[in-house]
Amino acid sequence: MAGNKGRGRAAYTFNIEAVGFSRGEKLPDVALKPPPLFPDTDYKPVPLKTGEGEDYMLALKQELRETVKRMPYFIEPPEEKQDIERYSKRYMKVYKEEWVPDWRRLPREMMPRKKYKKAGPKAKKVNDTGKDTSLTNTVDVLEKIEELEKRGDGEKSDEENEEKEGTKEKSKEGDDDEEDDAAEQEEYDEEEQEEENDYINSYFEDGDDFGADSDDNMDEATY
């Protein structure tokens, strides 16, 4: 700076004394590192409020945290396979109530597409041919590969086919897999078809008889 002829003072355009430094005092060093993660505080925090209400809310909060884990809305990630199966794990499983969303309130695309499962082999065949044509017709091979990939890890959620009245409910581990396979087949057919004509043929008119129909769905698509 021009006005600062060798006076030995850094070049400031304002009076340094105005910010609290007396003449000749050293300025603080420039901080080159970030502030500490847990800095010392000059004042200790005041203790928390205590009382009946506070205690009750605390208990409620902790209870709630446990409860939500047991709700059907808590979706656990698919478990990775462990090398050694722990015996105790079998008993740690929490049984959740099933939850049937009210499909009328949700967009149509939310419904899992598994409507043909109960229709037996006949319906399945019809679908299979449908799949063939779509196979030859679809140009989008990438789409196909993606679907196949999904088949690998997607369908782990076994809640999807809860039996009616929960009779076969938890004893189905064994035969479940086969069923699931069949179901998957169908599901993907539809996925294909949807890609082509952009509407789901499993959809049914929601007229007066919808209530009855949705009752039927419950068995197949529960979350």
Partner 1 sequence: MTQAEIKLCSLLLQEHFGEIVEKIGVHLIRTGSQPLRVIAHDTRTPLDQVKKALCVLIQHNLVIYQVHKRGMVEYEAQCSRVLRMLRYPRYIYTAKTLYSDTGELIVEELLLNGKMTMSALVKKVADRLTETMEDGKTMDYGEVSSTFVRLADTHFVQRCPLVPATENSDPGPPPPAPTLVISEKDMYLVPKLNLIGKGKRRRSSEDDAIGEPKAKRLKHTTDNKEPIPDDGIYWQANLDRFHQHFRDQAIVSAVANRMDQTSSEIMRTMLRMSEVTTPSGAPFTQPLSSNEIFRSLPVGYNISKQVLDQYLTLLADDPLEFVAKSGDSGGGMYVINLHKVLGSLATATLESVVQERFGSRCARIFRLVLQKKHLEQKQVEDFAMIPAKEAKDMLYKMLSENFILLQEIPKTPDHAPSRTFYLYTVNILSAARMLLHRCYKSIANLIERRQFETKENKRLLEKSQRVEAIIASMQATGAEEAQLQEIEEMITAPERQQLETLKRNVNKLDASEIQVDETIFLLESYIESTVKRQ
Which residues of the shown chain bind partner 1 in the complex (CB under 8 A)? 13-15, 18-20, 41-43, 45-46, 48-49, 53-54, 56-58, 60-62, 64-65, 67-68, 71, 73-77, 90-91, 93, 95-98, 101-102, 104-110, 112, 150, 153-155, 157, 165-166, 169-170, 199, 203, 205-208, 211, 215, 223
Asked whether the beta carbons of 114 and 157 are under 8 A apart, the reply is: no
User: What are the φ/ψ torsions at residue 77 (nearest 5 degrees)?
Assistant: -65, 150
Q: Which amino acid is at 95?
A: Y
User: What DSSP state is assigned to residue 32?
Assistant: -
d(CA 98, CA 79): 19
Q: The tokens 């979706």 sit on which residue?
A: 75
Nearer to partner 1, 32 or 91 (CB): 91
d(CA 67, CA 65): 6
Nearer to partner 1, 112 or 130 (CB): 112
Output the smallest distance, CB 182 to partner 1, in A: 16
Output the smallest distance, CB 121 to partner 1, in A: 24
Nearer to partner 1, 37 or 120 (CB): 37
Output the smallest distance, CB 139 to partner 1, in A: 18
Residue 189: closest CA among 153, 120, 138: 138
Q: b/e string for 162-197 if b means 16 or more Cβ within 10 A? A: beeeeeeeeeeeeeeeeebeebbebbbbbbbbbeee
Asked whether the beta carbons of 17 and 23 are under 8 A apart, the reply is: yes
Output the smallest distance, CB 101 to partner 1, in A: 5
Residues in the chain, total: 223
Nearer to partner 1, 125 or 164 (CB): 164
Nearer to partner 1, 114 or 134 (CB): 114
**Which residues neighbour 123 within 8 Å (Cβ) at sequence distance 6 or greater?**
116
Output the smallest distance, CB 186 to partner 1, in A: 13
Output the smallest distance, CB 122 to partner 1, in A: 26
d(CA 143, CA 149): 10
Nearer to partner 1, 20 or 36 (CB): 20
Output the smallest distance, CB 73 to partner 1, in A: 5
Nearer to partner 1, 83 or 205 (CB): 205
